[in-house]
Chain A
Amino acid sequence: MIEAVAQNLVFGILLGALYGLAAVGIAMVFGVTKFLNVAHGELLMFGGYASFWLFKLFNLDPFLSLPLTIIFLLLIGTVLYKLLFVRMVKLPEEEKIKNTMLVGFGLTLILQNIALNLWTADDRGITTSYSGAAFTLLGVRFPYVRVAGLVISLVCLFALQQFLRRTYTGKAIRATVEDWEAASLVGIDVHKVYLLSFLIGTALAGVAGALVLVSFSVEPAMGMHWTLKSLIVMVLGGAGNFMGTFVGGILLGATESTAAFFIPGNYRQVVGLVLFLLILIFKPQGLFGAKER
């Protein structure tokens, strides 16, 4: 009994790391640009497919092909930004959120149907030499690929934080988040910062997609699920604090899987939403969000 609960919890945490990574991507974009890109899940889906086809066609290991997956997503991100999102840069904040949501919903339909036409509705997964392998600790199984997912997520998060903390460009991003007008007055090209942040978010979605592929599978309609989880996690962790967002992801994964053990399977999705509502009611700035400055 205890082992089964522990096993569930571990799987939940490992899944939660992927929620966290996806959410950090959407939070990065939202935090800087105030674009609420609800097509984030579709970008993640494209990352998964990129990784899948690189494996299928060129026999490239999904972990080793991560840089290629990222490049592919950066291209998509650039096109989407230059074609659509750039038009909303100058809107006031609230209109920006609303308009990007509308555009995002349109995009989800378009991107889903592109995937459906190109690659059919089949579930796609891959099997590598190490796919089933796991180590066991105290009777709990740790599949290698899922642990690798957690590690890679942490590496991405750490790299992002160091980038924001230490580099000039990273500081320019933080300055833009605080006060874009003051940022432009010190000579920061705010439009470049917006594009860069959008691309970082897109790249993170790509990495998350590849990790979802190796641990689970991908299909054209998976995006909305991941967007929803990302949004829940972003609210849970509090926007503007990526470590908090990531921990929020792990928390959601752990709660879902533990709850699934005690309540029937289909209600698993409800748990996250209930958590979401509770946070909104009792701690709207998020678990780790700063109250205000």
Chain B
Amino acid sequence: MLELEEINAFYGDLQALWGISMHVSEGELVALVGPNGAGKTTTLRIISGLLKPASGSLRFYGQDLGKESVHKIVEQGISQVPESGRIFTGMSVLENLELGAFTPNARKEKDKTLNWVYGIFPRLEERKSQRAGTLSGGERQMLAIGRALMSKPKLLMLDEPSFGLAPILVEQMFEMITEINRQGVTILLVEQNVRAALELAQRAYVIENGRIVGEGKGDDLLSFESIRSAYLA
């Protein structure tokens, strides 16, 4: 469903991505792992349209998204949960979720989607009238994911959903992500927690210094020597 081909991207004069090629198929849970500053978030920003590629092609169901604006890409069915959630802290939990369903199509089915999201994250329903700024770290992350799900995405991109969470919460978070994927949402997961991500994902890409340096099934990569020594030692 999603295809990146030879993507080059810059921040000013600084090249951040060098010929990135990768694909995600319908129903998959794909992980993109690598060290800090490798270009994981930049890759997501390219896909969601926040950063425009200098060259290369970005296609979603065969359609070229390389020049599409961010809100149009959301309408196409790609939703990104940015790093650390970036929920609207001044608004209520419910308002955050409502805004998630901003696109015309999502708005029509808002109530139905809301029930679905509450089903996945019952905690959000309990806190729906609370100001989002008062939520705990784990709840914020749930709200960020819930908000992204409200747009009824075909592809959900998660940027470090485990970041800053206590170990027990991390485990819960990964369980929820698996559950969302099982319910039919394709997921592209960016993680620094390499072992957990590789265990979770069906397939994974390893990115270093803005280049894809490895690709394979999650299990295979886990036993990959260079990955073991670099991330799991």
Where chain A touches its partner, the secondary structure class is helix
Which residues of A lie under 8 Å from residue B70 when comparing CB positions? 184-185, 190
Number of interface residues of A (CB under 8 A): 18
Q: Would A186 and B90 be within 8 Å (CB), given that A168-B98, A181-B50, A181-B82 are in contact?
A: no
Give chain A nearest CB distance to B122 CB in angstroms. 22
Interfacial residues, chain A to chain B (CB-CB below 8 A): 168, 171-172, 174-175, 178-179, 181-190, 293
Give chain A nearest CB distance to B44 CB in angstroms. 10
Please measure, in the bound complex, the distance between the C-alpha atom of A190 and the C-alpha atom of B75, giving whole angstroms. 14
Give chain A nearest CB distance to B99 CB in angstroms. 5
Which range contains the number of B residues in contact with the other chain? Answer: 20 to 34
Does B80 lie at the interface of the complex (its beta carbon under 8 Å from any beta carbon of A)? yes
Give chain A nearest CB distance to B80 CB in angstroms. 5
**Cβ B99 vs Cβ A185 within 8 A:** no
Interface residue from A168, A175, A187, A190 paired with B88 (Cβ < 8 Å): A175
Give chain B nearest CB distance to A90 CB in angstroms. 12
Which residues of B lie under 8 Å from residue A189 when comparing CB positions? 69, 71
**Cβ A174 vs Cβ B88 within 8 A:** yes
Please measure, in the bound complex, the distance between the C-alpha atom of A189 and the C-alpha atom of B49, giving whole angstroms. 12
**Cβ B102 vs Cβ A178 within 8 A:** no
Which residues of A lie under 8 Å from residue B87 when comparing CB positions? 182
Please measure, in the bound complex, the distance between the C-alpha atom of A52 and the C-alpha atom of B80, giving whole angstroms. 51
**Cβ B102 vs Cβ A172 within 8 A:** yes
Which of chain B's residues 27-83 have a Cβ closer than 8 Å to chain A? 48, 50, 69-71, 74-75, 79-80, 82
Closest A-chain residue to B157, C-beta based?
A: A185
Interface residue from A172, A183, A185, A293 paired with B90 (Cβ < 8 Å): A293
Interfacial residues, chain B to chain A (CB-CB below 8 A): 48, 50, 69-71, 74-75, 79-80, 82, 86-91, 95, 98-100, 102-103, 106-107, 133, 147-148, 150-151
Which residues of A lie under 8 Å from residue B106 when comparing CB positions? 187
Q: Would A186 and B102 be within 8 Å (CB), given that A168-B107, A181-B50, A181-B82 are in contact?
A: yes
Please measure, in the bound complex, the distance between the C-alpha atom of A186 and the C-alpha atom of B100, giving whole angstroms. 5
Please measure, in the bound complex, the distance between the C-alpha atom of A184 and the C-alpha atom of B91, giving whole angstroms. 16
**Cβ B89 vs Cβ A293 within 8 A:** yes
**Cβ A187 vs Cβ B75 within 8 A:** yes
**Cβ B99 vs Cβ A171 within 8 A:** yes
Give chain B nearest CB distance to A150 CB in angstroms. 29
Can you sample 25 A-B contacts with CB below 8 Å? A168-B98, A171-B91, A171-B95, A171-B98, A172-B99, A174-B88, A178-B89, A179-B86, A181-B82, A181-B86, A182-B82, A182-B87, A183-B88, A183-B99, A184-B50, A184-B74, A185-B79, A185-B80, A186-B100, A186-B102, A186-B148, A187-B106, A187-B151, A188-B71, A189-B69
